[in-house]
Structure 1
Amino acid sequence: MKARILLLPVLVAMMLFNACKKDDQQGPGGDNGSYNYGPGAIFIKQGTEGITKIDMSTGELSLVMKNWLDAGWDISWDGKKGVKQVDVSYDETKYIIFNTGDGSTLKEVSYEPADNHGGLPCISPDGTKLALRPTLREGLVILDMAGNVLKSIAGYGADHTFEYLDPINWAPDGSILFKKNSSLYRTSVDFSRAFKIKDIPFADWKGDAVASPDGQKIAMSLNGHIWLMNADGSDLHQVTQSSQQEVAPSFSPDSRYIAMKANSRAGVPGSGTTAPHLCLIPADGQVYKVYPGEDNRVIHPTVKGASPDSRGLGVAIVGDFVWR
């Protein structure tokens, strides 16, 4: 009897420890009005509007940057800084680095492009460089935060030239992912060379590919759905299913989830306009049906205080977004 009494507190302690451990490993949910969708924030720019952000731990929506006309923007990987592109004149572009907390300007990076405007900016993982998407007259351009051109690359190899608006995306090690012919490539960290990751046998693939912050996975939109593979190009497979299209994957800061634009439907039932809606899936390689009600593992984030969509859809996204 004494032995059983002594064991009871030990068992209770173990149960409490395991319960806490299980809670620590739980991912985004948002059930029961908690609005807890995971770490960081999702930043959204809709057309010529400014940048807003959804705090993924609270569901609260706030304004980061007021409206401006130019399209180029990005958010640093730590979520603390952003960049917006302002085309000052025919031969001058400014990249305004701002604080995402209050929208204040931290610095202005001036660039005189060979084209009439500079390329769309992407902030490097360490926050020290800007990669500019190719324009009509320039290929891949790398700037430091003083506006100095570190690299201007027309293409990689005799059989490759960057084309207008070819997608580029940073990987966490400071290399860049890009499309060459029908294959996904990665540059070296000094941008002097490029290496093939994998042939991508889909005609609709334009070159978009995003790396997870932990460097383990790459996600792409192929054949109208999201596909996932290991960083070395192995195990490429489809991870979303629907009667519509899923595009623009973006990993969560902890690499555990993928956000995307999906479920294109009327913003308001019965209206004549349509828009894709935000949804999240685990980045575990399993296959998920993304329409509301088809798979309870799929999350459809909403804004705290907003009227819920009667169909269970997440936030409508007309423009671009990133999860930081």
Structure 2
Amino acid sequence: MSTSSWPGLVDLQVNGFRGYDVNADDITTDTLVALTQELWREGVTSYLPTVITASEDKILHALEVIAAARRSDALIAHSIAGIHVEGPYLSPEDGPRGAHDAAHLRDPSIVELDRWQAAAEGLVRIVTLAPERMGALSYIAEAADRGVLASIGHCAPTAETVRTAVTAGATLSTHLGNGTQSLLPRHPNHLWAQLAADDLTAMFIADGHHLPADALTAMIRAKGTDRAILTSDSAALAGATPGTYRTPVGGHVVVEGSGRLSLPGTALLAGSGHSLRACAEWALQHLPFGTDELIRMASHNPRRLLAHRQDSEPDGDRIDVHLGDELIIQRVRVAGAVVHQR
């Protein structure tokens, strides 16, 4: 087993982890502080808390709490690099909408985005939306003008709509290969269009459940490791014992022994049961990419995408890892301060 120093992992999609839920009705600043500390133990030094489809009041409350958590502590502020809002501008179709609540899906509104930013103190960095929704293309362009990245996800567009969204300014794909129909035309379809678009960087969930190894390998090779990002899409149930739980994300969710999270009686996934560290470990074990390429996809690329803070020195966010059959985090530094020691 070898020991090496890596840049800290950067996760662009974190709904929760080990019982701490970004989308809980009773979210507090303590929730965000505890969540951040749990992620430090997993080697994640920067992340985007991810707020999903809900009423506007609930979304605004979550945004306000996240902003308040950043104000409470300098290291927490350093690690919460912004906010990802996944929805509510998603496809209403079963399959593409995934576990998102159909009752709160709606068309994009740039006025609503401005209200989000007022509540979040300008922290919203990514919005996932379905480009086929009414008003989505103008929303993408106006969001880009405000410095907000539009990401294509939970959608059922035509290939042409994908190309038009990229022209309008879309720059990302959210968990590409998931959040879509179970059956697609062989070609054309929107997955091929997103893979072919050089102006789209694709986020992938490498947990062994969202995509099989051969599909993920082919998709990463299509995008190239410079335009691929590994994310966890972790949920609050990540780390829970097997069973059926009631959660704000998806209602009843089944946790399997493998960590797979799904809606009862369906093949639909309800987020991931793994941290980005665990996803990186699975990728090293199952994908034909080396450590340098893995670090690029789990750290360098998402950091570059966020145009990470100028006050964040490259050596300030570091993790020491033991790398053998498992990826074991030994020590974590955030902004130069040791926040975890195994």
TM-score range for the pair, normalised by the shorter chain length: 0.3 to 0.5
TM-score, normalising length from structure 1? 0.34
Larger relative contact order (Cα-Cα within 8 Å, sequence gap ≥ 6) = 2
Flag the structure with higher helix content. 2
After TM superposition, the score normalised by the length of structure 2 is 0.32
